[in-house]
Amino acid sequence: MKYDYKVTAAGRVNIIGEHVDYCGGKVFPAALSMKNTVLVKANGGDRINLSWTTTDFTISLDINELEKYAGVKYANYIAGCALIWKNAGHKLLGCDMLQDCKVPFGSGLSSSAAIEVSTLAAFATIAGEKIDKKEIALLAQKAEREYAKVNCGIMDQYASANGLKDHALLLDCKKIEHEYVPFDLGGYTLVIANCNKPHNLVESKYNERRAETEEALDGLKTVLKVDCLAEVSPEQFEKYKYLLGEKVADRAEHVIYECARVNEAVDAMKKGDTETLGKLLNESHASLKNKYEVTGKELDCLAETAQSFPGCVGSRMTGAGFGGCTVSIVDKNAVKDFEKFVGEKYEKTIGYPATFYEASIDDGITIEKI
């Protein structure tokens, strides 16, 4: 079949700033060269004819009855995006659409955000609408929250839409504003390792952690004038943490100190201080393990083994946790040795292999007429 447009959106890696986006914090993600690609053409009808490169499954969605596809595997995210797009007052055209996702599913690299963002950009493109990346990110988040029932923050969709080659984004999740920060690691590179333990945000403890942070905020609001946990300083937290139960205090401690680490990481990148960035990654992982409790033996094995490798200056889990990936800063000349060292220890300890990716930092949404 011939298509008119090729639309892509990126998977993302979060350099640092984990589990703070829904607490009003700043995060430091970057879009990856791993993409979801949508080939699309308007068909003049009232159906979205969907197919995928990764499965033989096909389906034709009625654009007037999109609610009924909520439980349909593969199609639910596309139908959700179509419904949200239409309900936002945009023109939704019937189309033929082929989805090709190169972001590993269940990896914590935001395959769902890449699918949502590229799909919405495809709807905009065939309707002749100007691409508003911020609006597309917000609509993609809305689709995931209201249709897929994942209570996600804005980071994944925003990075997928707004990524810029060779730059990370300092994203203020409360104001929904970003600053591009050149991301140059000098003689080092990012290596992503997938622990290959599937994770599902809906079935994991993601929503439980959100509830715990909200409980912490309610407790601190009795003595502080704040709208979100990210507005609480480490000094204020140490003064008032007695108001919180031990577990809830641990969750709040991670968020508040992680927000501080994000600011330090951005300063380090602006100075070209890769060593400090690496140290902050290590601190982040320890906090996610001991205070937020979202890592698990697989991610701990990958990150802690990486941290022990002489050519690695820092490593941590990235994404929601409970499976997925780590991100490590590794000497460019030692990548193969690093992968061998970490891979062998991981397989020996866990019982099955990890997968390593050497992805570059790339643009978010791209559109090409074909």
Question: What is the rounded distance in angstroms from the CA atom of residue 325 to the CA atom of residue 96?
Answer: 33
| Predicted local distance difference test score (pLDDT) of residue 207 | 81
Residue 10 counted as domain residue:
yes
Residue 167 counted as domain residue:
yes
pLDDT digits (tens, 9 = 90+) for 24-67: 999 999 999 999 999 999 999 999 999 999 999 999 999 999 99
Active site residues: 156
| Predicted local distance difference test score (pLDDT) of residue 214 | 97
Residue 317 counted as domain residue:
no
| Lowest mean pLDDT segment, chosen from 101-110, 123-132, 170-179, 274-283 | 101-110
Indicate the SS3 state at residue 58: strand
* Averaged pLDDT score across all residues of the chain: 94
Confidence class of residue 149 from pLDDT cuts 50, 70 and 90?
confident
Evaluate if residue 202 carries a pLDDT over 70.
no
Backbone torsions φ then ψ of 327, nearest 5 degrees: -125, 130
| Predicted local distance difference test score (pLDDT) of residue 201 | 54
| Predicted local distance difference test score (pLDDT) of residue 315 | 98
Residue 294 counted as domain residue:
no
Evaluate if residue 213 carries a pLDDT over 70.
yes
Residue 230 counted as domain residue:
no
pLDDT digits (tens, 9 = 90+) for 290-314: 999 999 999 999 999 999 999 999 9
Evaluate if residue 107 carries a pLDDT over 70.
yes
Number of independent structural domains in the chain: 1
pLDDT digits (tens, 9 = 90+) for 261-293: 999 999 999 999 999 999 999 999 999 999 999
Stronger pLDDT, 71 or 326, i.e. the higher one: 326
Residue 280 counted as domain residue:
no
Residue 251 counted as domain residue:
no
CATH number of the domain at 142, please. 3.30.230.10
**Residue 175 belongs to what domain range?**
5-183+362-369
Residue 225 counted as domain residue:
no
The answer to whether the beta carbons of residues 110 and 18 sit under 8 Å apart is no
| Predicted local distance difference test score (pLDDT) of residue 103 | 92
Evaluate if residue 127 carries a pLDDT over 90.
yes
- Segments of the chain assigned E as strands: 5-16, 26-42, 47-52, 58-62, 95-101, 167-172, 177-182, 188-194, 312-318, 325-331, 355-357, 366-369
Evaluate if residue 79 carries a pLDDT over 80.
yes
Percentage of residues in the chain having pLDDT higher than 70:
98
The answer to whether the beta carbons of residues 4 and 369 sit under 8 Å apart is yes
Evaluate if residue 12 carries a pLDDT over 90.
yes
